[in-house]
Structure 1
Amino acid sequence: MSNAQHKHSPKPAESEGKSAIEQELARANVDNDPVAANQRLFTGSRNLVIAAMCVAYTVFHLLVMNVYPLETWAYRLTHVGGGLLLGFLLFGSQPFGEDAGPTQREGLMSKALLVLAGAGVLYGLIGVVAIWINGTLLGDLMPPAWAMSTFGIPLTLGTSVAIVHGWVFPHRGRMQFAPGDVVLALAAIAFTAYLIFFARQLQLRAGMPMALPGDMWSAITGVLLIIELTRRLAGMALVIIAGVFVAYAFAGPWLPGIFEHRGYDVKRFFSYIFTDNGVLGAPIAISSTYIILFVVFAAFLQTTRVGEYFVNLAFAAAGHRRGGPAKVAIFASGLMGMINGTSAGNVVATGSLTIPMMKKVGYRPQTSAAVEAAASTGGQIMPPIMGAGAFIMAEITGIAYMDIVYAAIIPAVIYFVSVYFMVDLAAKKANMMGLPRDQLPKLAKLAKQIYLFLPIVVLIYALFAGYSVIRCGTLAMITAAVVSWLTPHRMGPKQLIQALDNGARMVLQLVAVCATAGIIVGVIALTGIGSRFSTVLLALADQSQILALFFAMVVSIILGMGMPTTAAYAVAASVIAPGVINLGVAPLTAHLFIFYFAVMSAITPPVALAAYAGSALAGSDPIRTSVESFKIGLAAFVVPYMFFYSPAMLLNGGWFDIAHIAATALVGIYLLSCAVQGWFFGHANAAVRAALGAGGLTMIAGGWITDAIGVGIAVVLVLIQRGRMGASDFARGAD
């Protein structure tokens, strides 16, 4: 064993008395966690500087949210600028093509580009300092003419050159700061400082003829930095979409039909984009409050090992059952996915343990990855946090947060029950066994630590008691730290710093994608394409609500392919929701419908980020994994239509109606699960599977007649299966 392995493996004292699962989970937390690996990669002064900056970034947000409120624009700009600063220092650029070895000519060219980029950004930074000195020390709100007229051009050009340098000459060693990334970090400081200093005046002149050249150049620099960090952290899909929307803002006069608009000059467009109608709009409003709060909460659970307890308890309760590890993944991944707000990230975090365990009991690699992807993705539709989706929806629609939470309960439960049906039927079909009890944590022992559930209990109780979401998240975070004092992983100053550091690192991708989503939303608001698209949607649907919802589903999934849920929902809601609502669909139903499909895009082929993350851990084919995750999460593609036809599923109605809809929905989902898996009290042939699918679909509408048809089909199929297999085989199939 290497020194590194000795260093990070659990100590003998820590492993003594632990089950195989508990020891495996401890190793997964140390060796497979991407944040911990990132920390171990950096050593020396570089790591200390970044750690200090990450802690400061997290503490700043917690203080502003709980103790010392800051002016809204300044706070959101600091959130974005600080995220860009940390992002460029932490995550190096990757080339578009193959990374060839450097030549002497490349070395000279690289240095020349760095000098050019550094000079431009440094000049811009000096100009911002001059503006600050003039306004703060001399009391003159108007900056020196030279600073205002000339600082922005070198700043933008220097930033552009530094970005291109990163593409062509990526930094190969990450043990020290990459010079090009330092230049980009300084550019982030420069444009953020300018916009914060002029925040009040910028609110009055943004997007107007009175906008100043400095406003424009600072905004252009900010957009360039946001797009580049998104490319580094979330890939090209969202970057391409954002690029198309930005180009659309300028190409309007030459476009046909509904896409035509009068166009906008560069100064008006970019100064408008950095307002609360664009980058500083709803996605960043949520990212700078609820998302970072609950990501830090997840970091606290991770650091204190309280999150580890949830997984151990799930293994103790269900690990011995048929296909046990898959059922554990449903619970553990759903719970953690609800909190951390990113499907692919949750797959990596919990899948490092659950996927190997599923493979161990007989699930194929692609099935193991697909189950983990479906469960992690489903966490984002599970109340009360919904991966920050409930908060974004409340911000966009004005609907009370608790109304959204209540409405989402039954659809979320049905989704997870359907995933459970899928894995249980697959286990029956393959005659799988669970894990041996001697390899599992002891339930009686874990029951004595039930107090470790207190952070979740406090969170849910505080939410339903009417406290603000920020207060609830903060109380849950404090509770996680306090209950850790009753465990060997007591949170002290060192662990506190680690949790604050991890929280900042974990949120950076979401900051980038929310800011990019804000750019897209800003273009939609400025050009009016959203309302025109809604008009076309209404025309195509020809006053048919169900046809409009079908179009909404398709657009939501397409937008969500390659985009994190937060960005996908924000964009889809801006483009589609108004048209659907104009057809008479209730706003809450319309937005939940769009949100569900934006979430499920993470497991929808051909671009399924959560499934791809799982396939990397399982060693399976990404496309086949995405197809199987789509099948396992099939209920999520049916449930939104159920609550459209039956508002009682959203707790809108009497208790009898709600109970009726919930019960028949479960029966319908079970029939669909049997159809997909090909098992209904035994092997189901093609004809039986087709009948099962038809029976399940008839129960979508929630009417008494359609429900009776579905139940009648199920009863007939039970009799057919019993007659075909015989009583004894039928009984074994039902076990």
Structure 2
Amino acid sequence: MADMAQTEGRQVQEAADLDAEGIDRNLPRGLATGLLIASALYAVFHLTVLNFWSIDEWVYRVIHVNMGAVLAFVGIRAWRGERGWVALPDLLLIAGAVWCSVYVAANLDMLIMRTGVMTTPLDFLCGVVGTIVVLEFARRVAGPVLPIIALVFVAYVFVGQWLPGILRHSGFETDNFFSFLYSQDAIFGMTVAASSRYIILFVAFAVFLEASGAGEYFMRLAMMLFGAARGGPGKVSVFSGLLFGTVSGSAVANVVASGTFTIPMMRRVGYPRENAGGIEAASSSGGQLAPPVMGAGAFIMAEITGIPYSEIVVAAILPCLLFYTAIYLTVDLEARRLGLHGIPRSELPKPRELAGDVFLLLPLAVLLYLLLSGYSIIAAGTWGLAATLLVLLCRELGFRSRVLALPLCLFVALPLTGMQVNFAGAIATAASAGLMLVLALVRGQATRLPGVLATMSRTTFTGLAETARKSLQLISVMACAGIVVGVLGLTGLGGRFSSVLLSAAGESQALAFILAMLISIVLGMGMPTTAAYAIAAAVVAPALQQMGVSALAAHLFVFYCAVISAITPPVAIAAFAGAAIAGGKPWPTSIKAMRYGIAAFVLPFMFYTSPEILLQGDWTETAHVFVTALVAIYLIAVAGEGQLFGRANPAERIVAAVAALLLLWSSLATDIAGLALAAILLGWAWHRSGRATAPLAGDRNHP
């Protein structure tokens, strides 16, 4: 038993290492405590600036990146085999990060006028040192892939004047280039703007939501709904991936969070190792497609495109439903093929128990209500975060979750009176906390209150420190992606790349989209979704928009590609994490993950051929497109798993795939043809299954 536990622990650690969030140093107690305090203060600084303290945007972004880098240089090893504490190179990098921050803050007015145009020697030095800090920050925390790509783009600035064809540019002065790079036009541009406003806030929300018990509730809810079904643990994995994934920007983190529970369950009922790891990888990666947070993707997309957040979230609803329906159907048909059963109902949570704990979802309810009511993303995230503290207090005091009905009513009702949302949120939080403390006194818990408040303080402190630690990867990659985006804008390569993509595709829009998908997936391999999306948005999305695709459809297309790059070989990091937990082989697991997530490779093409799926247009057309797409994804599952009223033969699977493609193309002619093929296939399969099970005439007289 102990050996099994050690093996499982090692597998989980191997999976977590694939997230490339760096390896923490074993620091002396005093330095480790100081790092925790600095990390918590870093998170508090962001929450304060976002809600109460107004400072210059450029200075804020510089502090956001450089102080995050300082935390990484102290707390994270420079390389895997490193021994010892903070070394001289780390101290130099820390000094460089601090100096750059002070220099920008002290010379802000002059820098705004002369950046990239009239560069002084100190401006140049700040640009070089700051760029080195960003590159090493990203390498240490997120791995070498993105820094290498960024260095290639930096090298292109210096050699591009000697390159042929579309790669040629007129050249740039070295000092002006690095001054430009370390400005709001590049490193501190739109990518860092998004991370500085949203990343800390929603990582904090995810950390405290998990601490409040919502993650456990998600898993229990999934178990109650799907655990007893055919192949139940696989379906639990699908549903829990949907719930866990929306608030996290890391596919691997999602796999580790839910896979440590779901994968052993799948193995227990008979799923092969690669299948179990593949199901978890596909469902956990797809969680970032789920509104309202979309792994922070919705906020970053709104920042980059200028499209209202609410429009992005609404547009993402139906594609997300189709994606998870496709995985569910595939898992169901596979369970039928493998003859897998569910978990006995006696081992599952009871509906009455879950109903009693439903108010544990108070933070999500507050977040959704404020977001959909039109309040700012920052206000919604802040008061959703405050609601997690109320849930924690409720649990520490030993109350049933129904006590949380009061804060829910206050968070909903007070803004309706016309009260400013931050004032309303503060009153709702303070009044609810005060009432719970009064109830504790009434129940004779006065002697427990000091211990409860001390526990709350420790939980809040550690949660803030953990927020900073979990944010470093996203902050570093967004800053490093700013280098790529800045070079594309400075050299005009982004526009020329769009022309190349269009000319390569010729008159074929389908080919253009296939090429765009391939390029986006390749750019995203080995990187977090947010960074993959930021780069693809700068490189690929403009080309699609030149073809007449709307900005919303183009950016959702590349966002889907960024998400599925986590399960696409050869660098399918989410699938490799699933394989590590399941003890399976990485490549077969990634192939299985692609099979389960095949809808994500097909659905994005509908954003152009059928924009109604994004709720763009008449509702009757949207309903028509959605229903035909549902039929299509069922046929895709049939083609993939070979199950249709029994085992389907190769010819039936080919017909199912053709019918699915016709329905997804979404024109009247292709819909009619696809539905006709589907009807013929279903009729034939029903007839065939009836013949296979009918008794022979000669057997009717025998028992």
Q: Which amino acid aligns with 1:49?
A: G
CA contact (8 A) 1:524 1:574 kept: yes
Tell me whether 366-375 or 533-542 shows the greater mean CA deviation: 533-542
SS at match of 1:477: helix
Counterpart CA distance in 2 for 1:268 and 1:691 is 60
Evaluate the alpha carbon distance shift between residue 522 and residue 448 of structure 1 in structure 2; reply closer, same or farther with a 3 A threshold.
same
Counterpart CA distance in 2 for 1:395 and 1:721 is 50
* Corresponding position of 1:459: 367
Post-superposition Cα deviations, 1:462-497, rounded to whole Å, max 9, x if no partner, equal 111000001001111111111223325877111111
* Corresponding position of 2:119: 211
Q: CA deviation at 1:40?
A: 11
Matched, 1:324 2:235: no
Counterpart CA distance in 2 for 1:433 and 1:277 is 56
2:671 alignment partner, one of 707, 717, 721:
707
Q: Which amino acid aligns with 1:563?
A: M
Question: Which residues in structure 2 correspond to 1:308-319 (within 5 Å)?
Answer: 308-319=216-227
Matched, 1:87 2:72: yes
Q: Which amino acid aligns with 1:652?
A: Q
CA contact (8 A) 1:76 1:284 kept: yes
Q: CA deviation at 1:662?
A: 0.8
Higher relative contact order (CA 8 A, sep 6+): 2
Question: Which residues in structure 2 correspond to 1:322-401 (within 5 Å)?
Answer: 322-401=230-309
TM-score under structure 2 normalisation?
A: 0.85
Counterpart CA distance in 2 for 1:49 and 1:179 is 19
Q: Which amino acid aligns with 2:649?
A: N
SS at match of 2:119: coil
CA contact (8 A) 1:375 1:419 kept: yes
Q: CA deviation at 1:718?
A: 2.1
* Corresponding position of 1:637: 601
Q: CA deviation at 1:600?
A: 1.1
Post-superposition Cα deviations, 1:449-472, rounded to whole Å, max 9, x if no partner, equal 100112111111111100000100
Matched, 1:581 2:545: yes
Q: CA deviation at 1:42?
A: 5.5
Evaluate the alpha carbon distance shift between residue 729 and residue 401 of structure 1 in structure 2; reply closer, same or farther with a 3 A threshold.
farther
Question: Which residues in structure 2 correspond to 1:185-264 (within 5 Å)?
Answer: 185-208=94-117, 210-264=118-172
CA contact (8 A) 2:199 2:475 kept: no
* Corresponding position of 1:552: 516
Post-superposition Cα deviations, 1:404-439, rounded to whole Å, max 9, x if no partner, equal 111111111111111111111111111111122333
Evaluate the alpha carbon distance shift between residue 39 and residue 307 of structure 1 in structure 2; reply closer, same or farther with a 3 A threshold.
farther
* Corresponding position of 1:486: 394
Counterpart CA distance in 1 for 2:364 and 2:28 is 35
Where in structure 1 are there 5+ consecutive unaligned residues? 9-23, 96-169, 731-735
Matched, 1:527 2:491: yes
Q: Which amino acid aligns with 1:664?
A: T
Question: Which residues in structure 2 correspond to 1:560-709 (within 5 Å)?
Answer: 560-709=524-673
Q: Which amino acid aligns with 2:482?
A: G
Q: Which amino acid aligns with 2:640?
A: V
* Corresponding position of 1:171: 82
Q: Which amino acid aligns with 1:186?
A: A
Q: Which amino acid aligns with 1:265?
A: E
Counterpart CA distance in 2 for 1:714 and 1:627 is 27
Q: CA deviation at 1:299?
A: 0.6
Counterpart CA distance in 1 for 2:16 and 2:313 is 33
Matched, 1:427 2:412: no
Post-superposition Cα deviations, 1:687-730, rounded to whole Å, max 9, x if no partner, equal 11111111111111222332222222222222332333336859
* Corresponding position of 1:501: 465
State the number of aligned residues: 631
Q: Which amino acid aligns with 2:629?
A: A
Counterpart CA distance in 2 for 1:218 and 1:264 is 18
Counterpart CA distance in 2 for 1:78 and 1:43 is 26
Q: Which amino acid aligns with 1:59?
A: V
2:213 alignment partner, one of 302, 305, 310:
305
CA contact (8 A) 2:59 2:101 kept: no
Q: CA deviation at 1:92?
A: 0.3
Q: CA RMSD in A?
A: 2.6
Q: Which amino acid aligns with 2:72?
A: G
CA contact (8 A) 2:138 2:477 kept: yes
CA contact (8 A) 1:92 1:178 kept: no
Post-superposition Cα deviations, 1:251-288, rounded to whole Å, max 9, x if no partner, equal 01111100001222221111101112211011111111
Post-superposition Cα deviations, 1:284-310, rounded to whole Å, max 9, x if no partner, equal 111111122111100101222222211
Counterpart CA distance in 1 for 2:75 and 2:145 is 22
Counterpart CA distance in 2 for 1:639 and 1:611 is 20
SS at match of 2:664: coil
Residue identity (%): 44
Evaluate the alpha carbon distance shift between residue 477 and residue 198 of structure 1 in structure 2; reply closer, same or farther with a 3 A threshold.
same
CA contact (8 A) 1:611 1:622 kept: yes
CA contact (8 A) 1:35 1:505 kept: no
CA contact (8 A) 2:21 2:473 kept: no
* Corresponding position of 1:161: none
